[in-house]
Amino acid sequence: MDDEDHSLRNAGLIQAGFPAMLSATLLVGCSLMALSDFSGGEQGAPDGSVSDAFSQSTDATDAAIDAPAVPDPTDGDATPAPFCASLSPQPSVCLDFDGDPAFGSWNIDNARGAKVEASSSAFVSAPQAAYFSRAAGAAPGGVMVLRYALVTANAPNELVLEADVRIEKTTPDDELDIMTVIFPFGADSVELQLSTLDGTYRLQQWSFLADGGNGGNETSFQRPIALGKWQHLRFTLKLGATRKALLEIDGAPAPEVSFTLPTGFGSPTLELGDGYMEGGASAFFMDNFTATVK
C-alpha cells in the first residue's frame, strides 16, 4: 500500500471513527452525570433515591432475620387446648380434671376408706385424671363420689354421658358404680347406674321412697370390662316413650336394655363414682367426662 492509500485510509478512519469516539465519550459523560445525580453528594440522598431504597431494603431484611419465629400450631411442641375448651359444640357439662380446682364446681364426698382424688399417674388428656379407690379391708359403706346438680328447663328426651375409663381392680360379688343419674319425683327418686359386676358392665336401677322403702334390679349389657386398659364409654339414656339404655364401648354398641321411669321427674343429679361400697378393694381412673342433654 502506497503513501496515498495510507492517507486516504487514515482520513476514512478519522471520518468514520471520530463520531463513534465522540458518541462513546458523551455516553460515558452522561453515565457519570447520572451516577453523580443519584450519589447524593455531601447533602445526602433525596427522598425516594436509590440510596434510600437500598437502605430500606436492608432494614427490612434485617428485621425479617431478627423477628422471632411464629409458633406453628401443628408443631409437636405446641401446647394443645384443654379437652373441654377444644369441644365444639360444647356439651351441657364437661369435666376434664385438668383445671384448678381439678373437680370444678362438683361436690366431693369421700368416706370410710374410699376416696376420689386428682392423679397424674394415668390420664387421657394431660396433665391428670380422677382416681376413685377403696382400700382393701375398709369398713362397709365406703363413699367415693363426685356430684353435680344438672339444671334442665324441661324434662330431657335423652341424656348422653361419656368418659374415658380405666378400671384397675374390682372385688367379686361387689358392684362398682361408674356413672349414676338420679331422677327426683317429689320426695322419691330413681337412680340409673352404669356399673360393673363380675367382670361385665351392667345397668342398675334403684328406687328410693320417702317412706323408707326401696327396690332395685339389674340387667347385663353383655360386654366385659378390660382391666388396666382405657375404654371410651358412651352411656345413653332414652327418656322418651321408649325408656332404653345404650352402652357403646370404643364406638361398638352393646345390646339395648330397657328400664322403667315414672313421668314428671325433675332436673337430674349426676354422680361419678360409687356412693355405697360393701367391701373389698376397687379402683378406676376417669378422664374427660361430658354430659349432653337432648
In a domain, residue 15? The reply is: yes
Give the tens place of pLDDT for each residue, 45-102.
Answer: 444 444 444 444 445 444 444 444 443 433 444 456 799 999 999 999 999 999 999 9
C-alpha 222/C-alpha 201 separation (Å) is 7
C-alpha 121/C-alpha 127 separation (Å) is 9
Give the tens place of pLDDT for each residue, 143-196.
Answer: 999 999 998 888 899 999 999 999 999 998 889 999 999 999 999 999 999 999
The domain that contains 216 carries what CATH number? 2.60.120.200
The number of angstroms, rounded, from the C-alpha of 184 to the middle of its chain's C-alpha atoms is 33
C-alpha 57/C-alpha 210 separation (Å) is 83
Decide if 159 contacts 237 (C-beta within 8 A).
yes
For residues 92 and 163, membership in a common domain is answered with: yes
At residue 22, the pLDDT reads 32
Q: Which of 190, 249, 189, 259 has the alpha carbon at shortest distance from 218?
A: 259
C-alpha 268/C-alpha 98 separation (Å) is 25
Q: What is the mean pLDDT of residues 240-260?
A: 96
Decide if 115 contacts 277 (C-beta within 8 A).
no
For residues 21 and 148, membership in a common domain is answered with: no
In a domain, residue 46? The reply is: no
At 34, the pLDDT band (50, 70, 90 cuts) reads very low
The number of angstroms, rounded, from the C-alpha of 158 to the middle of its chain's C-alpha atoms is 24
Task: Please state whether the peptide bond connecting residue 127 to the residue before it is cis, i.e. omega within 30 degrees of 0.
Answer: yes
In a domain, residue 173? The reply is: yes
For residues 205 and 122, membership in a common domain is answered with: yes
Amino acid residing at 73: P
For residues 12 and 123, membership in a common domain is answered with: no
For residues 109 and 180, membership in a common domain is answered with: yes
In this structure, what are the phi and psi dihedrals at residue 16, rounded to the nearest 5 degrees? -80, -35
Inter-axis angle of helices 3-39 and 50-66, to 10 degrees? 60
What is the pTM (predicted TM-score) of this model? 0.73
For residues 9 and 112, membership in a common domain is answered with: no
Domain count, the chain: 2
At 214, the pLDDT band (50, 70, 90 cuts) reads confident
In a domain, residue 233? The reply is: yes
Q: Which triple of cell numbers denotes residue 53?
A: 431504597
At residue 221, the pLDDT reads 97
For residues 19 and 148, membership in a common domain is answered with: no
Give the tens place of pLDDT for each residue, 136-158.
Answer: 888 889 999 999 999 888 889 99
In a domain, residue 52? The reply is: no
For residues 13 and 115, membership in a common domain is answered with: no
For residues 183 and 266, membership in a common domain is answered with: yes
For residues 177 and 276, membership in a common domain is answered with: yes
In a domain, residue 225? The reply is: yes
Q: Which of 9, 32, 268 has the alpha carbon at shortest distance from 154?
A: 268
Helix (H, G, I), strand (E, B) or coil at 18: helix
Amino acid residing at 157: N
Decide if 282 contacts 144 (C-beta within 8 A).
no
In a domain, residue 251? The reply is: yes
In a domain, residue 6? The reply is: yes
Amino acid residing at 108: I
For residues 25 and 92, membership in a common domain is answered with: no
Question: Mean pLDDT of all residues in the chain?
Answer: 80
Domain assignment of residue 14, given as a range: 1-29
At residue 218, the pLDDT reads 93
Q: Which of 217, 232, 215, 170 has the alpha carbon at shortest distance from 197?
A: 170
C-alpha 173/C-alpha 140 separation (Å) is 14
For residues 25 and 90, membership in a common domain is answered with: no
Block residue for cell numbers 365406703: 142
